[in-house]
Structure 1
Amino acid sequence: MQDDVRALRAYVAEHLGDELVEWPGGRPGEAEVALVDAVMSIRARYGRPGVAPTGVHRAVAAYRALRGETALDDLRALAHLDPADLARAVGTQRTGGVLKAEAIVRAAEALTAVGVRSADHVDPGDERQKRAYTSVRGLGWVTWEYFGMLLGRPGVKADRWVIAAVANAVGRQVTATETKDVVLATAGEMRQSPTRLEHALWAFERSREVG
């Protein structure tokens, strides 16, 4: 592990420099929006926000319009939505063979069943909550971690670009779990937020692929 941490620190110094790009900030205090964001982000482009949002931003804006509320922090409300109505708003993309809209509603149901109703209740380290979320078809621990990050909990979303960054740094293929562990350990040694380091690695690798 220590060799991998040294390799990633060298990679960061060479490619990212001293000033890491800022984490955009997520969806603090909005459990409903964070859950929509986390699930819709699976194998998707984030697109752009603004008056004509695209990608995940468009889905989030559509959810806000569907709900028509200013405070979107009640997973019970999301759990009671008809998945078909949600799909008409956010789109018909799939994960694990099911509509992402259905996975979102089922995740809200599963989380509320174990007492998670708002952002304040979400604890990524709680195994009961994690099992509830990952019991939903198409959802796994990576987006569970990201759900927490969007709500302001430190974490690492080990997606394809972050995995690629760590693999390029250490010179071999790595798993999502290995990626998370190396980024967390490296962030600790650098005295950086793991969320900020993860986002900086994600932004760099993504820019190389799509640039």
Structure 2
Amino acid sequence: MVHDPPVIQTDESHNVDMNTYSMGYNPVTNSAYAEQVRESAVGWLKAWKLNFGEAAVIRTSDRWDNMVTHLGYTSHRVSWNVQETLSKAITTDKDIIDASAERLREAEVIPDNQLSAKQLAHLELARAIVDKVALLMTGRKVRAVHASIIPPASDRVRTAGMYSRATEEIFIDLGQLERGRQTVDTVIHELAHHTSGAEDLEERHSSHMTR
């Protein structure tokens, strides 16, 4: 009944209202009844997963859809008058994106002198590709390409590489540097963020990977 549009259309589906004002306050404790959703989160979460799956999150904005998919989850819109309260128990798209950003801050750059000969050779190949392609496509260099230990971006996907818009640097996970093909695939993917300015799964990013 809280899904938007409802999975099963009924008149009641459009009348469910769980916002704090509508639910009111406990006259004894003066605490919002909406807070009881947080207190009984286990039950709400179980019902949510039974209906929509283990990877379902609440959609708060369409603009996060591509990133949510990239992190291995699916977004579900709920009616506006239940979203705020239900989000006290159910993970939202913004929750997983914020958590992913926090995880990726733990990425560790590995100095070249700590790499195996194979890893270093593949890293130098990646750097050569970036130096040539970035200038050809944008006239703007990538500041650096690093070997790194990168944490998984979420509980559902691993991270092969990442690009920092703030510093214009590319980071390639050590595991990818074991194979030349994986290294090339990863660096092209991350370089496309630099040249296109687009996020994962956006058409502009995809087109820059195949130019």
TM range (shorter): under 0.3
Task: Give the structure-1-normalised TM-score.
Answer: 0.24
Instruction: Determine which structure has greater relative contact order: mean sequence separation of CA pairs < 8 Å that are 6+ residues apart, divided by chain length.
Output: 1
Which has more helix, going by share of residues?
1
Task: Give the structure-2-normalised TM-score.
Answer: 0.24
